[in-house]
Amino acid sequence: MQFTVEHKPTFAHITGTGRLNMVGAPKLREVVAEVVSGGSNHVVVDLGGTEFMDSSGLGALIGCLKLARQAGGDLRIANVRPQVQMVLELTSMNRVLTPYDTADEAFRDA
Amino acid sequence: MTPSPQGRRAVVIEDHDDIRNLLAQTIGMRGFTVTTAATGLDGLEAVRRDGADLITLDLNLPDLDGMEICRRVREFSDAYLLMVTARPGEIDRLRGLELGADDYISKPFSPRELQARIEAMFRRPRARAEQADAEELRRAAEVQRSLLPATAPAVPGYDVGGLCRPSRSVGGDFFDWYATGDGLQVSLADAMGKGMGAALIAATVRAVLRSAAGQPDMAQAFRDTCRHLENDLVHSGSFVTLFHARLDTARGTVDYVDAGHGLGLHVHAGGADRLPSGGPPVGAVPDTEWASGSLRLAPGDALVVVSDGLLDAFEDVEEAVRAVAAVVAEHPGSREACQAILDLVPSDAAADDVTAVLVRRRPTAPGGAL
């Protein structure tokens, strides 16, 4: 799993490419922790390149969401592919981690 | 313990014919019995079937990513693992070593260098600590198996079955059931992740659920259970999906709560309906209130709950649900039906634990009596 971080004017844009599983999950936690501790508490995780997510991956997203909220901000996800969408729906986590179509839309209300 | 040179076995996983032959020949000269495989899946199968003291692994295989194979090998084998790579990038090397490779060699390589590397690896004996770990894991697997119900409860008018197949020695799935005064309680849970960490969480969830079994109101019992668990789960950064149901045997009614599980099914003559979930997994969102649901089992109907490991074998949830409905219709016995559900996911393709529980109301006898 490869991550890139781009700092936009209103949020940090993290893109993840690969499989968000037991191997990728700790890396996502690290990347988000670094971004949040660097002062960006509005985070978008762009999952356009994430073809697969398992429960460890979902756990990492939940952990990152908590982290961003504790810092007074929020974490949102964008551009999810069908398998990730399925995991979110199955677990009812789409009610909490609502996917946005694009990263730019995610914090339009902020 | 390092086996004597004569008894050593090697598996060469390499898709390029010439390189595979060269590897096999070079390794064979050091006294190994060599099995070769041209794809990752064949290679994994060979290691499982024949065992291996040494594996050479090409990182660019047609079917599976070399890193993925490395990870899967480490789930069941502690063979010395030598990666053979045409991708000399530093990141690949580090990742491979992180995932449990012992050494790597870049293509093109000289046969003498390969032999020297192998002998150097075998001079480093596997730490005793690893053997102790393996023994502990085996014990843990035994304990976990013993926590699953050994026999189905006798519930007049119903046929109950359940099976669990962890992807590793231990896993995060479990099911449980117990007869109550007027019926039966059934739970199926899936703790985040895999392996030992998930198994510890699963055992905790089981114990807390059991302790709430005497509470007459199911929704209340579920809430109490979840309050206890949430704290532990938040501290461990984990969560659990949970399906918990109570069956009233006389009425055929099932009251249930689904916490982010999403794979409870009502299987009937017309097919299968997925039971709506009542909220997110336990531990995922603080202070959740879960909505409960209910359904009625007509004679011949079944409540089936599966874990998401089943989905690995299907394109989408709907396809998986249809397959489960078909299998349940085909197998009148609950246990056989559960086995058939597990068989929908070939065990060598299973990346996750797979669990199924089934409660079927027996069909009304032709004479009309129940």
**pLDDT exceeds 50 at position B171:** yes
What's A2-103's CATH class?
Answer: alpha beta
Please tell me the distance from the alpha carbon of residue B290 to that of residue B259, in angstroms, as a whole number: 7
pLDDT > 70? residue B93:
no
Picking from B71, B237, B308, the nearest residue to A59 by CB comes out as B237
- Residue B2 pLDDT more than 50? no
| B237 part of contact set with chain A, CB < 8 Å | yes
Domain B5-126 top-level CATH class: alpha beta
* Cβ contact A91–B193 (<8 Å): no
| pLDDT score of A64 | 96
For residues B139 and A7, the model is more confident at A7
Q: Which of A23, A28, A84, A90 to mutate to test the interface with B (most CBs of B within 10 A)?
A: A90
Residues of chain B contacting residue A30, judged by C-beta atoms under 8 Å apart = none
ipTM of the complex: 0.91
Compute CA distances B319 → A80, B310, B316, B323, whole Å: 21, 11, 6, 6
Q: So what's the pLDDT on residue B349?
A: 65
CA of A21: which chain B residue's CA is closest?
A: B193
CB under 8 Å, gap of 24 or more: what pairs does B332-336 form? Answer: B333/B159, B333/B161, B334/B152, B334/B159, B334/B160, B334/B161, B334/B302, B334/B358, B334/B359, B334/B360, B335/B152, B335/B161, B335/B163, B336/B161
Q: Is the pLDDT of residue B368 over 50?
A: no
d(CA B355, CA B306): 5
Return the residue of B nearest to A87 by Cα.
Answer: B308
pLDDT value of residue B370: 46
Query: What secondary structure does DSSP assign to B102-130, as a single string?
Result: -EEEESS--HHHHHHHHHHHHHSPPPHHH
Q: If you measure CA to CA, which chain A residue comes closest to B288?
A: A96
- CB within 8 Å: B308 and A92: no
Q: Does B94 touch chain A (CB under 8 A)?
A: no
Residues in A touching B262 (Cβ below 8 Å) = 89-92
The more confidently predicted of residues B142 and A107 is A107
From the number of C-beta atoms within 10 Å of its C-beta (0-12, 13-18, 19+), residue B103 rates as middle
Would the pLDDT of B54 be above 70? yes
Over the stretch B185-243, which tens digit does the pLDDT of each residue have?
999 999 998 778 888 889 999 999 888 878 888 888 888 888 888 888 888 888 999 99
Contact A62 B262 (CB under 8 A): no
Q: Per-residue DSSP letters for B281-341?
A: PBTTSTT--PPEEEEE--TT-EEEEE-GGGGGGSSSHHHHHHHHHHHHHH--SHHHHHHHH
Distance of alpha carbon B162 from alpha carbon B312, whole angstroms = 19
| The domain defined by B149-361 carries CATH number 3.60.40.10 | yes
Q: Which amino acid is at B91?
A: I
CA B262 to chain A, closest CA, distance in angstroms equals: 5
Q: Which of B79, B25, B84, B26 is nearest to B53 (CA)?
A: B79
What pLDDT score does B168 carry? 72
Give the pLDDT score at A81.
Answer: 96
Secondary element (H or E) of residue B255: strand B253-259
DSSP code per residue over B213-249: TT-S-HHHHHHHHHHHHHHHHHHHT--EEEEEEEEET
Longest pairwise C-alpha distance within chain B = 81
Query: And the tokens for B298?
Result: 């007509």
* pLDDT level of residue A32 (50, 70, 90 thresholds): very high
List pLDDT tens digits, range B280-339: 999 999 889 999 999 999 999 999 999 999 998 998 999 999 999 999 999 999 999 999
Contact: A96, B285; criterion CB under 8 Å: yes
- The CA dihedral of B313, B314, B315, B320, to the nearest 10 degrees, is -160
Q: Give residue B88's pLDDT band: very low, low, confident or very high (50, 70, 90).
A: low
Banded model confidence at residue B130, pLDDT cuts 50, 70, 90:
low
> Per-residue pLDDT for B366 more than 70?
no
Are the Cβ atoms of A56 and B193 closer than 8 angstroms?
yes
Domain ranges of chain B: 5-126, 149-361
pLDDT of residue A31 exceeding 70: yes
Rounded alpha-carbon distances, angstroms, from residue B20 to B37, B84, B278: 8, 11, 54
The shortest C-alpha distance from B317 to chain A (Å) reads: 8
Continuous segment of H or E residues that includes residue A78 = strand A74-78
CB A62, CB A32: distance < 8 Å: no
The per-residue pLDDT for range B326-348, each reduced to its tens digit, is: 999 999 999 999 999 999 998 77
The whole-angstrom distance between B140's CA and the closest CA on chain A is 21
What mean pLDDT, rounded, does chain B reach?
Answer: 87
- Closest of B113, B49, B58 to residue B76, by C-alpha: B49
Cβ contact A93:B284 at 8 Å: yes
Lowest average pLDDT, out of A21-25, A45-49, B316-320, goes to: A21-25
Domain boundaries, chain A: 2-103
Indicate the pTM of the whole model.
0.72
Average pLDDT, integer, range B32-57: 91
Q: Which residue in this structure is represented by tokens 């199955």?
A: A90
